[in-house]
Amino acid sequence: MRALIIEPSPTYQRILSRMLESYDFDITFVDTATAGFRAMTAHHFQFVCVAMYLADLTGIEFCQQARTDEQAKHLPIFIVTSESNPELLSSALAAGATDIIRKDDLPRLEEALHSLIPLGPFRYNISGKALYLEDSLTVAKATDAKLKRLGLSMDHAFSIAQALELLQHNKYELIMTDIVLQDNETGIDFIRQLRSESRFQQTPILAVTSLESVNRRILALQSGANDYISKPVLDEELFARINNLVSANRLVDQLTRERQRLLELATKDHLTGLYNRHFMGEVAKRRFAEARKHQLPLSLLVIDIDHFKQVNDQHGHHIGDKVLKRIAEALRQQFAEHDCIARFGGEEFVVLLHQQDLTMATDKAHQLCQLLEQLQPEGIATSVSIGVTSLSSAREEFFDEVFARADKALYQAKQSGRNQVVTAS
Ligand SMILES: Nc1nc2c(ncn2[C@@H]2O[C@H](COP(=O)(O)OP(=O)(O)OP(=O)(O)O)[C@@H](O)[C@H]2O)c(=O)[nH]1
């Protein structure tokens, strides 16, 4: 990594040198624009800092001249100055300076370098794999080398079929596609195909288009590409666009995971992973309304472990927890996904049986009672008592009322000796 500093003041040369030394730059110091141009012909620099006033040119004139040279057209050039005259500063930007760094605000140079220079100490924080659909092996190889410098390894596909095959077996941080492909295929078809599948809805897609094809670029974006880059591809632009795409996608991933975590915390019981009482209340509201509206059956089981206090007392709370988890697992296996199962508290569980009438619900309750009697979680003989009821079709009922009826049935099951089902209509 080479940097060029064109600075006549030895003091500022020292200050800049000290500031950049931790970044392991190979720095060339010169004190005139002429010497600067000479150095730029001899070496390739990653960026240049130039003072505003030099013996031969101003920093503004230096920028103007540098920008006429093809090699230095896109080179980051920072004018480092004590000047604060806004007109002077805006003419520096107009002349092609990348940024103006005030001498009393030098840390801004570091910030600017972080966003501009993709290599060395300023390497983007990217890793993983990219897929590139490109029918030219030469272009693909050159891109592979560039992506390696960014920290991405690249798989290359010549055709859409090959790309889709690779996507079956690999996870990619980024998908790049050329727009014009061989055999009447286009990158637009590929992008549309990807976006039609839910698993690729969020994957960042970068379209690679030729400079003049504005319509294709628009079509690529309309088809679902997140961004495009035009050929001939400039390294710095490619790095910046990829970095933006991959970082934004990671942020979305992170937020999605966090949202999922918060949702779990709010809706699930932390010990068993079953829904909690609050969530069951919310689901019940919707299911009750739906059942009333369409005259559908709906039933409720209230399940309570018998003499659970003895399990805790004889085997310890820790084993009691394991028993609760094992019973929760059995409930999950026993009921369908659309039946809402919740731990209501302590050793009590509630199941909302979707579109099942009282007879069906009672059968299920009996099966469950037998299953749990045989389960012997942690080698401990356990049983449950179950109260069953259904939503009345004759009159409007709400959850609390139906729950109270099932709970009363459960109480009767306990009173009648436990390990049994009582049905209330
Ligand atoms: N291990 C464990 N025990 C719990 C938890 N929540 C509640 N309990 C225990 O569950 C037991 C419930 O006892 P009781 O309400 O007397 O009921 P029971 O012993 O099951 O008797 P019956 O319901 O009448 O058959 C108490 O000992 C509580 O401490 C929990 O999260 N983990």
Q: Name the strand (E) or helix (H) holding 325.
A: helix 317-334
CA 311 to ligand 1 center in whole angstroms: 8
What one-letter code names the amino acid at 140?
A
Backbone torsion region of residue 7, taken as left when φ is above 0, otherwise alpha when ψ lies between -120 and 50, otherwise beta:
beta
Range from 11-25, 260-274, 406-420 carrying the lowest mean pLDDT: 11-25
Contact 67, 93 (CB under 8 A): no
Cβ neighbours of residue 103 under 8 Å, at least 6 residues apart? 12, 80, 81, 82
Mutation pick for ligand 1 pocket among 303, 308, 380, 414 (CB with most ligand atoms within 8 Å)? 308
Confidence at residue 322, expressed as pLDDT on a 0 to 100 scale: 97
76 DSSP assignment: -
Helices (H), 100-152: 107-116, 137-150
- What average pLDDT does the chain have? 92
Residue 49, φ and ψ in degrees, nearest 5: -110, 130
| Angstrom distance (rounded) from CA 189 to CA 407 | 59
Confidence at residue 124, expressed as pLDDT on a 0 to 100 scale: 65
- Encoding tokens for residue 72? 């230095």
- Encoding tokens for residue 31? 């004190």
Going by alpha carbons, the residue nearest to atom 8 of ligand 1 is 346
Task: Please report the DSSP string for 52-64 in residue order.
Answer: SB-SS-BHHHHHH
CA 391 to ligand 1 center in whole angstroms: 29
pLDDT tens, residue by residue, 337-387: 899 999 999 999 999 999 999 999 999 999 999 999 999 999 999 999 999
221 DSSP assignment: H
Contact 218, 212 (CB under 8 A): no
pLDDT tens, residue by residue, 20-31: 876 667 899 999
Cβ of 317 closer than 6 Å to ligand 1, yes or no, is yes
pLDDT tens, residue by residue, 140-178: 999 998 898 788 899 999 999 999 999 999 999 999 999
Q: Quick one: pLDDT band at residue 395, thresholds 50, 70, 90? A: confident
- Encoding tokens for residue 38? 């000479």
Cβ of 305 closer than 6 Å to ligand 1, yes or no, is yes
CA 317 to ligand 1 center in whole angstroms: 10
- Encoding tokens for residue 314? 């004889």
- Encoding tokens for residue 155? 């798989």
Confidence at residue 371, expressed as pLDDT on a 0 to 100 scale: 97
Q: Quick one: pLDDT band at residue 233, thresholds 50, 70, 90? A: confident
CA 373 to ligand 1 center in whole angstroms: 17
Maximum distance among all Cα pairs of the chain, rounded to whole angstroms: 105
Predicted model pTM: 0.60
CA 385 to ligand 1 center in whole angstroms: 14
Cβ of 304 closer than 6 Å to ligand 1, yes or no, is yes
